[in-house]
């Protein structure tokens, strides 16, 4: 066992932002590859549902988080024990980074602080143009609220001879702002950060006051306030040399952390553009469209034939699994280093002079340019075009990279032309044809506005020239032994970008984002219904297979509620019931009578008997009980699966 795994033995780790893309991958990796971890605390907010009801953090994790496709490998490994395994390893804390003590009561806060060895702060508002007040509250001030947990842990743990918790803050390489050249792995200067945050807080209050006209209907007032907050955030970010509110508030968060971390052993981990996994737990796993994906998908669907960009622009992609492995290895390195320093200088192991910054990026060791991305995406979709609604291939056109000025002029020209047509259509509004024309123009106008939005968000990144130093990352990799390198692989020099884009990332987008399933040949081995079910459960474990509104047995479904079973649940139930039937002596070639209402449970019963190898004899539930019993005797049925309303009478 390498030193990375040894470090985590018996440790308790707290993760914020676990429901995010990177957070899910971190949790899955620790559960899968670090069985020695004692416990994971996941700080999660509850969720307000569209119908106004409240979904608790625990229910949210059960219904949404652990049903993610990233946990398919673990579900297969543990089978029926998966839920028990999760309950043994994971504690969900209902909290919120925007509240003091993270929304926890004082007793829980202290208990968690005393118990936690490692804190991974992965929570963030990741929208580039989020409202300034919300981004400031979470990306900046939220960092300090999580840090307070580490400080409280230090107070409670050191009298017991335990080291202070390691604080690992997930930031982004793009806190560098608009710069050129090589960006070093250095913490930012915290000078003046309190004053800047105070100024931004006053600005947010001013925007709120200006938008608080009591005579304006609440929905309109809220929308106006949101737009004003977004505009102020983007304006202030650009004034300070940043592309957007996200990177600006993440930079402020780093500065605040450097100022406040004191003697807490602190890591600042800066990934570049995190995209789909390269290797584990499956190649191409991704959730939601990441930074580069709207452009790739827009091109493939022929909604975007060009976009302004510099062909030599640095596109610093990093696979998600590489980020996860580097983060876990870096934390272990800090734990090992602090321990050694403590032994050598006979001082508490928490005494670390300044935060360690590690940039998890590829541009200095394995450069990828926008020219490469365009070339290989075009090449892929020429060979593998998407299909339109009628099943016809959508042949892609060459993807061009015009200059930003030329593109803006062309966009303005198109907008003016649409406005001219709108005035003409308004003048002819008495005609039914003109009204239909107005509707079409509305669609075109909305598309142009969306394109203008993408231009403001993405153009800075399609002209980015800076590269990120990764000296600390490389030293971390070189310090690892062979066992840890195998289990926590992140050598960026090994990435073949053409292979990654064409064989991993784009197929992953098609599976997980566009929901396009490409047959990998496994379907050729399907010969029976159980084979078909196993195939579906492997490919779509979290998709709904059966549902019925009204009565049901699952979770005591009530009238008016949907009773749903995913393919994964259907497969597990069928296998469990098949084992029970086998214990009753039912085997291959035996007959099993099936009689009940038209409901999901009927299908479960059918697959259960099929998986046991039996022949199913379905009977009409409206037949008389004595007729059903007589047929069961006639076919020499070994067992009967019947509905509750028939069980007693038969």
Domain ranges of the chain: 3-188+244-272+316-365+470-487, 522-647
* CATH class in words for 3-188+244-272+316-365+470-487: alpha beta
User: pLDDT tier at 230 (50, 70, 90 boundaries)?
Assistant: very high
d(CA 591, CA 638): 6
Closest CA to 308 of 156, 463, 415, 115: 463
The pLDDT score that the predictor gives to residue 341 is 43
pLDDT higher than 70, residue 426? yes
Task: Provide the percentage of residues in the chain whose pLDDT is more than 90.
Answer: 55
The pLDDT score that the predictor gives to residue 519 is 53
The pLDDT score that the predictor gives to residue 345 is 39
Q: What is the mean pLDDT of residues 8-23?
A: 95
Closest CA to 252 of 168, 190, 173: 190
Per-residue pLDDT of 176-209, as tens digits, reads 999 999 999 999 999 999 999 999 999 999 988 8
Closest CA to 275 of 328, 304, 315, 226: 315
CA 120 to chain centroid: 16
Q: What is the mean pLDDT of residues 523-539?
A: 76
The pLDDT score that the predictor gives to residue 344 is 43
The pLDDT score that the predictor gives to residue 555 is 46
Q: What is the mean pLDDT of residues 296-311?
A: 88
Sign of the alpha-carbon dihedral angle for 124, 128, 132, 136: positive
d(CA 54, CA 52): 7
The pLDDT score that the predictor gives to residue 556 is 45
- pTM exceeds 0.85: no
The pLDDT score that the predictor gives to residue 517 is 64
Sequence length of the chain is 650
The pLDDT score that the predictor gives to residue 650 is 60
The pLDDT score that the predictor gives to residue 352 is 43
Q: What is the DSSP letter of 129?
A: T
Q: What angle do CA 352, 356, 359 make, to 5 degrees?
A: 170
Closest CA to 399 of 375, 368, 369: 375
pLDDT higher than 80, residue 473? yes
Task: Provide the percentage of residues in the chain whose pLDDT is more than 70.
Answer: 93
Strands, E assignment, 205-343: 266-271, 273-275, 317-319
The pLDDT score that the predictor gives to residue 215 is 73
3-class SS string, 427-492: HCCCCHHHHHHHHHHHHHHHHHHHHHHHHHHHHHHHCCCCEECCHHHHHHHHHCCHHHHHHCCCCH
Kindly report whether the peptide bond that precedes residue 416 is cis, defined as omega within 30 degrees of 0: no
Question: At which residue do the structure tokens 């409670």 appear?
Answer: 156
CATH entry 3.90.1150.10 includes domain 522-647:
no
Q: Which of 257-261, 291-295, 480-484, 592-596 has the lowest mean pLDDT?
A: 291-295
Kindly state the helix (H) or strand (E) to which residue 25 belongs, with its residue range.
helix 21-33
Per-residue pLDDT of 445-468, as tens digits, reads 888 888 888 888 889 999 999 999
User: pLDDT tier at 64 (50, 70, 90 boundaries)?
Assistant: confident
Per-residue pLDDT of 321-363, as tens digits, reads 999 999 999 999 999 875 554 444 333 343 445 799 999 999 9
pLDDT higher than 90, residue 166? yes
Q: What angle do CA 385, 448, 454 make, to 5 degrees?
A: 75
Closest CA to 360 of 334, 335, 324: 324
pLDDT top residue among 26 and 354: 26
Report the largest interatomic distance among the alpha carbons of the chain, rounded to a whole angstrom. 88
The pLDDT score that the predictor gives to residue 251 is 97
Q: Determine contact, residues 328/552, Cβ cutoff 8 Å.
A: no
Q: Which of 294-298, 381-385, 523-527 has the lowest mean pLDDT?
A: 523-527
Per-residue pLDDT of 74-113, as tens digits, reads 988 988 899 899 999 999 999 999 999 999 999 999 999 9
d(CA 57, CA 204): 29
Per-residue pLDDT of 242-283, as tens digits, reads 999 999 999 999 999 999 998 899 999 999 999 999 999 999
The pLDDT score that the predictor gives to residue 343 is 43
User: pLDDT tier at 560 (50, 70, 90 boundaries)?
Assistant: low
d(CA 471, CA 184): 9
Q: What is the DSSP letter of 311?
A: T
Q: At a CB cut-off of 8 Å and minimum separation 6, what does 41 contact?
A: 12, 13, 14, 15, 91, 93, 112, 115, 116
The pLDDT score that the predictor gives to residue 627 is 85
Q: At a CB cut-off of 8 Å and minimum separation 6, what does 624 contact?
A: none
Q: What mean pLDDT is reported for the chain? A: 88
The pLDDT score that the predictor gives to residue 439 is 86
The pLDDT score that the predictor gives to residue 148 is 96
Q: At a CB cut-off of 8 Å and minimum separation 6, what does 507 contact?
A: 284, 518
Q: Do domains 3-188+244-272+316-365+470-487 and 522-647 have the same CATH topology?
A: yes
């Amino acid at each position: 066992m390498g030193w990375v795994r040894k470090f985590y033995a018996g440790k308790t780790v707290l993760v914020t932002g676990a429901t995010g893309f990177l957070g899910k991958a971190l949790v899955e990796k620790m559960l899968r590859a670090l069985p020695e971890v004692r416990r994971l605390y996941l700080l999660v907010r509850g969720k307000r549902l569209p119908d106004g009801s409240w979904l608790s953090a625990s229910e949210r994790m059960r219904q949404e988080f652990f049903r993610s496709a990233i946990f398919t490998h673990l579900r297969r490994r543990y089978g029926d024990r998966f839920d028990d395994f999760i309950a043994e390893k994971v504690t969900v804390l209902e909290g919120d980074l925007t509240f003091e003590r993270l929304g926890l009561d004082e007793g829980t806060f202290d208990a968690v602080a005393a118990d936690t060895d490692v804190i991974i702060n992965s929570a963030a508002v990741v929208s580039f143009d989020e409202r300034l007040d919300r981004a400031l509250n979470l990306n900046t001030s939220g960092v300090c609220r999580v840090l307070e947990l580490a400080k409280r842990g230090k107070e409670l743990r050191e009298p017991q001879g335990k080291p202070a918790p390691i604080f690992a803050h997930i930031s982004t390489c793009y806190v560098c702002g608009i710069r050129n050249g090589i960006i070093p792995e250095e913490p930012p200067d915290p000078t003046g950060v309190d004053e800047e945050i105070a100024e931004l807080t006053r600005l947010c209050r001013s925007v709120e006051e200006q938008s608080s006209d009591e005579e304006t209907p609440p929905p309109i007032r809220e929308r106006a306030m949101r737009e004003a907050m977004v505009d102020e955030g983007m304006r202030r970010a650009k004034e300070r040399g940043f592309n957007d509110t996200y990177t600006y508030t993440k930079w402020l968060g780093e500065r605040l952390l450097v100022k406040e971390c004191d003697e807490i052993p602190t890591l600042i981990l800066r990934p570049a553009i995190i995209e789909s996994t390269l290797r584990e737990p499956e190649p191409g796993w991704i959730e939601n469209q990441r930074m580069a994906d709207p452009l790739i998908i827009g091109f493939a669907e022929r909604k975007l034939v060009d976009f302004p960009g510099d062909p030599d622009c640095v596109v610093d992609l990093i696979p998600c699994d590489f980020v996860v492995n580097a983060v876990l290895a870096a934390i272990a390195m800090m734990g090992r280093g602090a321990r050694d320093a403590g032994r050598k200088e006979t001082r508490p192991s928490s005494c670390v002079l300044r935060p360690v910054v590690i940039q998890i990026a590829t541009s200095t060791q394995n450069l990828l340019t926008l020219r490469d991305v365009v070339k290989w995406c075009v090449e892929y979709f020429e060979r593998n075009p998407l299909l339109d609604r009628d099943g016809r291939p959508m042949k892609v056109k060459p993807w061009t990279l015009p200059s930003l000025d030329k593109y803006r002029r062309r966009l303005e020209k198109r907008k003016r032309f649409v406005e001219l047509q709108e005035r003409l259509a308004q003048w002819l509004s008495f005609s039914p044809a003109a009204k239909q024309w107005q509707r079409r123009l509305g669609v075109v106008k909305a598309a142009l506005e969306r394109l203008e939005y993408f231009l403001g968000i993405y153009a800075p990144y399609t002209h980015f020239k800076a590269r990120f130093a990764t000296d600390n990352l490389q030293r971390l990799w070189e310090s690892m032994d062979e066992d840890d390198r195998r289990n926590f692989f992140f050598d960026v020099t090994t990435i073949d970008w053409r292979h990654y884009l064409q064989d991993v990332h784009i197929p992953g987008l098609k599976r997980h984002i566009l929901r396009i399933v490409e047959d990998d040949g496994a379907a050729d081995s399907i010969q029976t219904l159980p084979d078909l079910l196993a195939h579906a459960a492997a490919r779509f474990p979290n998709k709904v297979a059966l549902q019925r509104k009204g009565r049901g047995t699952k979770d005591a479904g009530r009238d008016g509620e949907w009773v749903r079973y995913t393919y994964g649940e259907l497969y597990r139930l069928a296998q469990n019931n098949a084992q029970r039937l086998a214990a009753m002596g039912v085997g291959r070639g035996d007959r099993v009578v099936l009689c009940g209402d038209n409901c999901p449970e009927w299908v479960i019963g059918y697959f259960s008997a099929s998986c046991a190898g039996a022949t199913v004899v379905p009977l009409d539930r409206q037949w008389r009980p004595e007729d059903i019993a007589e047929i069961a005797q006639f076919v020499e049925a070994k067992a009967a699966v019947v509905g509750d309303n028939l069980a007693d009478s038969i």
